[in-house]
């Protein structure tokens, strides 16, 4: 899409169909309202697991005051932050990117800030608010957008492919197919592939693949819903309602109730005393570490999904990118203010894009569904991971299709592209893949005698990542 959008103030959309189409540019981007609605539902169902995983992770650690975060409260604020910020992404940025508490980031908050550094939960959330505020400033000064636009197009493609591979291994792991091994074989296939949960995944994968192959509209959404129905019948008829007991309550079961009362007790529980507790240098290092992860996870996610959807212009830029980055930056701070941990753009948004989502209307649908989960969390909680795992695998298939467009004959781009792609799934981190890709690109281009081809901002970013990796090794 060659046309460049400008950052205009938000206008209230006309309630008529033409006004909706004009505001979200639905026809212009080759979509329909029906497609956007299906895409929004698909994205929600694919990433809805965060409503239950985030409370599980944050609830594992008790702070030095003996305070633990209660599951119902964290579920409420997780749904609240995700719903509000995904709506903002849809209405203001007008792209089909959904936002929720970031996996990895929540682990950093729980196990590093609270568990290792000894911060209280309000102090740890204060770190997240500060980090989000700093990134917001970088967006307002356009520094964040400049850095993203400085990335070579082939590295952007590699980031998208790496995210696809990352999604694939997440899906296979969630399904129980790929498991941790030992020192000799770090990752391996599950020893027992004859369980009913594995059967559920296989049925879901076959269903999703068949529907995609037949070019069925709403294939991924139908797959998730169909596999959930299959899992529920399996669980009730053959499993005595106990197949998914170890995963969480209510999964693959008919819910005993539909509505639940939200608990907003964690909203606003923030303390900014991190500098007095840790000292300036240690506190600054903690803030920079989480900021780098948040910064480049989003950059990689947005560019990878946008490339797969054909949203980038001929220069490899996303029109209106600064709006996307601004909402994402605010989401980090909102995550801290709600005690749901840093919120970020989700790679599972690719599932909705694969269903044809191209506009902010898809994000509006996703955001509304998250807000509904404030009241109907028992219904959202019935979807098993084996129902969404096949979708992640299929989305990975869509995202690696640009692999042939990378100039593999040039080692100055081919080697960084390879490192970017493989380190994301192998280290379970988008940031690690992006960082090593940048560093290797700068080093190899310099050794080729082509330092002049390196954008000045990439020198700065490579230096920051060099510090990041060395600091991580020494910490």
The mean predicted confidence, pLDDT, of the chain is: 89
> Per the domain annotation, does 330 fall within a domain?
yes
Of 280, 275, 318, 284, the closest CA to residue 300 belongs to 318
Q: How far is CA 379 from CA 100, 246, 263, in A?
A: 19, 18, 17
In the three-class reduction of DSSP (H, G, I as helix; E, B as strand; rest coil), residue 100 is classed as: strand
439 close to 433: Cβ distance less than 8 angstroms: no
Kindly report the backbone phi and psi dihedral angles of residue 94, in degrees, each rounded to the nearest multiple of 5, phi listed first.
60, 40
Residue carrying the six token digits 């006004």: 19
Close Cβ partners of 447 (under 8 Å, ≥ 6 residues apart): none
Neighbours of 258 (CB within 10 A): 10
Top-ranked range on mean pLDDT: pick from 15-19, 32-36, 45-49, 248-252: 32-36
The whole-angstrom separation of Cα 374 and Cα 85 is 15
Length of the chain: 475
**Which residues are bridge partners to 189 per DSSP?**
178
The whole-angstrom separation of Cα 327 and Cα 345 is 9
> Per the domain annotation, does 124 fall within a domain?
yes
Looking at per-residue pLDDT, the higher value among 147 and 31 belongs to 31
> Per the domain annotation, does 236 fall within a domain?
no
Residue range 308-367, pLDDT digits in tens = 888 988 888 899 999 999 999 999 999 999 999 999 999 899 999 999 999 999 999 999
Q: What is the DSSP letter of 13?
A: P
The whole-angstrom separation of Cα 225 and Cα 203 is 12
Instruction: Determine the average pLDDT of the residues in 256-281.
Output: 91
> Per the domain annotation, does 331 fall within a domain?
yes
pLDDT value at residue 246? 85
Of 309, 343, 239, the closest CA to residue 96 belongs to 309
Q: Is 393 exposed, middle or buried (0-12, 13-18, 19+ CB in 10 A)?
A: buried
Residue range 433-450, pLDDT digits in tens = 888 999 999 999 999 999
SS3 percent helix, strand, coil of the chain, rounded to 5, is: 65, 5, 35
pLDDT value at residue 150? 87
The whole-angstrom separation of Cα 33 and Cα 358 is 10
The whole-angstrom separation of Cα 98 and Cα 118 is 32
- What confidence tier does 18 reach under pLDDT thresholds 50, 70, 90? low
Kindly report the backbone phi and psi dihedral angles of residue 187, in degrees, each rounded to the nearest multiple of 5, phi listed first.
-130, 135
> Per the domain annotation, does 52 fall within a domain?
yes
Q: Which helix (H) or strand (E) holds 245?
A: none
355 close to 35: Cβ distance less than 8 angstroms: yes
- What is the pTM (predicted TM-score) of this model? 0.77
**Which residues are bridge partners to 178 per DSSP?**
189
Residue range 289-310, pLDDT digits in tens = 788 778 778 888 898 899 888 8
> How far from each other are the two terminal CA atoms of the chain, in whole angstroms?
44
Where would I find the H helices in 381-451?
385-399, 411-427, 430-447
Of 130-134, 149-153, 291-295, 357-361, the poorest mean pLDDT is in 291-295
Domain hosting residue 277, numbered range: 17-171+258-381+391-474
Nearest 5°: the CA angle 75, 77, 78 is 60
pLDDT value at residue 472? 59
- Tokens found for residue 288: 């920079």
Q: How far is CA 87 from CA 76, 184, 222, in A?
A: 16, 46, 24
The whole-angstrom separation of Cα 159 and Cα 156 is 5
Q: How far is CA 222 from CA 46, 47, 176, 210, 218, in A?
A: 12, 15, 22, 11, 6
> Per the domain annotation, does 180 fall within a domain?
no
pLDDT at 11 over 50: no
Q: What is the DSSP letter of 12?
A: P
The whole-angstrom separation of Cα 74 and Cα 332 is 16
Kindly report the backbone phi and psi dihedral angles of residue 180, in degrees, each rounded to the nearest multiple of 5, phi listed first.
-70, 140
The whole-angstrom separation of Cα 266 and Cα 206 is 42
pLDDT at 9 over 50: no
Looking at per-residue pLDDT, the higher value among 258 and 125 belongs to 125
* Total number of domains in the chain: 1
> Per the domain annotation, does 183 fall within a domain?
no
pLDDT value at residue 66? 95
pLDDT value at residue 16? 45
pLDDT value at residue 377? 74
Residue carrying the six token digits 């991190």: 274
Neighbours of 281 (CB within 10 A): 9
> Per the domain annotation, does 5 fall within a domain?
no
Close Cβ partners of 249 (under 8 Å, ≥ 6 residues apart): 381
Of 362, 366, 374, the closest CA to residue 44 belongs to 366
């Amino acid at each position: 899409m060659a046309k460049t959008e400008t950052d205009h103030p938000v206008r209230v959309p006309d309630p008529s169909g033409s006004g909706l189409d004009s505001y979200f540019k639905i026809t212009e981007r080759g979509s329909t309202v029906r497609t956007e609605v299906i895409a929004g539902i698909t994205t929600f169902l694919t990433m809805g697991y965060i409503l239950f995983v985030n409370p599980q992770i944050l609830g594992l650690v008790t702070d030095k005051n003996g305070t633990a975060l209660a599951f119902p409260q964290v579920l409420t604020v997780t749904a609240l932050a995700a719903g509000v910020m995904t709506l903002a992404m849809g209405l203001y940025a007008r792209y089909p990117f959904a936002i929720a508490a970031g996996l990895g980031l929540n682990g950093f908050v729980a196990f590093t800030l609270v568990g290792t550094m000894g911060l209280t939960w309000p102090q740890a959330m204060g770190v997240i608010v500060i980090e989000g505020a700093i990134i917001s400033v970088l967006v307002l000064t356009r520094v964040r957008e400049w850095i993203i636009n400085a990335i070579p197009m082939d590295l952007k493609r590699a980031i998208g492919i790496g995210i696809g591979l990352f999604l694939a291994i997440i899906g296979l792991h969630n399904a129980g197919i790929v498991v941790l091994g030992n020192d000799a074989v770090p990752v391996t296939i599950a020893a027992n592939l004859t369980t009913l949960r594995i059967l559920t995944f296989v049925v879901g994968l076959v269903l999703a693949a068949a529907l995609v192959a037949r070019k069925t509209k709403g294939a991924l959404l139908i797959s998730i819903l169909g596999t959930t129905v299959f899992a529920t019948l399996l669980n009730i008829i053959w499993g005595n309602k106990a197949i998914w007991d170890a995963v969480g309550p209510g999964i693959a079961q008919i819910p005993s109730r539909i509505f639940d009362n939200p608990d907003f007790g964690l909203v606003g529980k923030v303390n900014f005393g991190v500098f007095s507790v840790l000292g300036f240098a240690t506190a600054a290092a903690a803030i920079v570490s989480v900021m780098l992860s948040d910064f480049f996870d989003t950059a990689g996610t947005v560019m990878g999904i946008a490339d797969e959807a054909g949203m980038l212009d001929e220069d490899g830029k996303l029109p209106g990118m600064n709006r996307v980055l601004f909402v994402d930056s605010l989401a980090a701070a909102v995550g801290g203010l709600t005690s749901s941990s840093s919120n970020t753009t989700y790679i599972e948004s690719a599932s909705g894009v694969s269903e044809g989502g191209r506009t902010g209307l898809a994000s509006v649908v996703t955001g509304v569904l998250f807000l509904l989960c404030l009241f109907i969390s028992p219904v959202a909680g019935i979807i098993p991971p084996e129902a969404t795992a096949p979708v992640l695998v299929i989305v990975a298939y869509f995202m690696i299709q640009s692999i042939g467009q990378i100039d593999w004959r040039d080692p100055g781009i081919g080697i960084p592209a390879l490192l970017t792609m493989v380190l994301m799934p192998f280290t379970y981190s988008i940031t690690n893949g992006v960082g090593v890709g940048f560093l290797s690109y700068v080093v190899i281009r310099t050794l080729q005698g082509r330092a002049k081809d390196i954008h000045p901002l990439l020198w700065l970013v490579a230096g920051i990542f060099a510090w990041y990796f060395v600091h991580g090794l020494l910490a």
